[in-house]
Each structure stands twice: as structure tokens, then as C-alpha cells.
Structure 1
Amino acid sequence: MLRWAVIFLVVALIAALFGFGGIAGASAGIAQILFFIFIALFVISLVVNAVNGRS
């Protein structure tokens, strides 16, 4: 998932470089959403592993 966030970020940067503001904004928004989903899943994974590791 982090890989897709980075891909959309690169697409947004390239689109912004060439002046496609709408595509750049949409790609940046998608990258931001994917990044936050990745962070949430990572934190949930850490909590689950910490809880299961203590038994």
C-alpha cells in the first residue's frame, strides 16, 4: 500500500511539473489517503502483535 502511495505521489509531482493541476491535485489526494490507510493498518498490526506476543 505504501508503494501505491509513492507511485501516486510521483504521478502528482510529474503532473504538476507539466501544468496539469487537476490531475496533480487528484493524485496527491489519493496518495495522501493511501498513506493514512497504510499508517492506520501499520499501527493496528503493531497493537495486535503486541497483544498476541504477551501470552
Structure 2
Amino acid sequence: MLVAENLLDRSKLTLSYHLLSDFKFVSHVAFSMQDKVSPSYGQLSKVSE
């Protein structure tokens, strides 16, 4: 039982890590697109983060 719980925790960790890195990548792309479209808007969203 303990081994199964351990495996489950590990898969949750891996999943959340992948989601986090995906989110970072997406937000990075969004920021660079914003900077190209409108520099002032990109600055504003960086400040509010």
C-alpha cells in the first residue's frame, strides 16, 4: 500500500512539474508576443505579475 501511495505522489509531482514548465513556456511566449505588439502593454503586465 505504501509503495502504491509513493508512486502516486511521484506521478502527481511529475505531472505538476510538467504543467508548471508548460505554463512558464506559454507565458514566456505570450510576453514576447506582447512586447512585439505593444511594448507599453508588455511592461504593464510584467509589473503586475
TM-score normalised to the size of structure 1?
A: 0.62
- Which runs of no fewer than 5 residues in structure 1 stay unpaired? 1-19
Q: Tell which structure's C-alpha radius of gyration is larger.
A: 2
CA distance in 2, matches of 1:32, 1:51: 29
Aligned to 2:24: 43
The structure that is helix-richer by fraction is 2
CA distance in 1, matches of 2:12, 2:35: 35
- Which runs of no fewer than 5 residues in structure 2 stay unpaired? 37-49
Q: How many residues align?
A: 36
TM-score normalised to the size of structure 2?
A: 0.68
Percent of pairs with identical residues: 8
- Root-mean-square deviation (CA, aligned residues, Å) is 0.6
